Amino acid sequence: MICAGVSVAFIIGTVLTWRALALTGIIPCAILFLGLFFIPESPRWLAKTGKEKEFEAALQKLRGKDADITHEAAEIQDYIETLERLPKAGMLDLFQRRYLRSVTIGVGLMVFQQFGGINGICFYTSTIFESAGFSSSVGTIIYAILQVVVTGLNTIVIDRAGRKPLLLVSATGLVLGCLLVGVSFFLKDHELGLESVPALAVTGILLYIAAFSAGMGAVPWVVMSEIFPINIKGVGGSLATLVNWFGAWLVSYTFNFLMTWSSYGTFILYAAINALGILFMIIVVPETKGRTLEQIQAAINA
């Protein structure tokens, strides 16, 4: 759904001015604001705070008035009781030795997801196409459609292929995509094979976004939700998310400066970071598909 929203913005942005495009953001915000009045509070949070009646009412509302929630309610209560017996974890506790590997995996995946260049490339796609001599409108529309299609396919195969294979295939595609765009800008800067520059740039960008959508876009978030013990899941997830959005800001902020420094050097740099990401995934990241939390923790701490 994130990709669908981004893609809609990309497509309507080809026909609207930037100011009109920015104002269209009011529409989904208004819908969300109104919708919040109809969304019940999290049943797990209500159970954790001891609000028994509100907990059952919220769970019943989410499951439907005719659904039998007895079994699920008992499971949630057992989960909360187990959580209460575990030691409370703060941000500094994440750096204890027993949690450090989980934190390394969660944060590391977010680092490579962002510093591989996705937000710089995503936000400046039309500029990249223009610089390469290709129609920015046509390129942007193809980009937007491809992103949704590949991400949709990813949701089908993620529980069949596994997390780690998708990450490795995705990161390999990111390296190749960055290299193709880097080569296209190198040729352009040195006035070599200028007729092939647009084709190389477009192929590289589309390969990059297809590869990102195939794994690195969604899988790090899935793995992050699976690797943290339940007592540090909230804090660990918050740290990984903080790192992710800091990386998104930094890459977005530096992209134009890097392109001014060296257009082909920027993409070679991103290719190198994605190549390091492949090594990180091979060495550090475990497969989590079909495993219980206990099995995942055993694999992480082996």
Average pLDDT of 252-276? 95
What whole-number distance in Å separates Cα of residue 169 and Cα of residue 224? 19
What whole-number distance in Å separates Cα of residue 249 and Cα of residue 191? 33
pLDDT at 294 exceeding the cut of 80: no
* Amino acid at the residue 115: F
Q: Return the exposure string of 67-101: e unless at least 16 CB atoms fall within 10 Å of the residue's CB, then b.
A: eebeeebeebeeebeeeeeeeebeeeebeeeebeb
Say what the pLDDT of residue 154 is.
Answer: 84
Predicted confidence band at 136 (pLDDT cuts at 50, 70, 90)? confident
Say what the pLDDT of residue 267 is.
Answer: 95
pLDDT tens-digit series, residues 174-201? 999 999 999 999 998 888 888 888 889 8
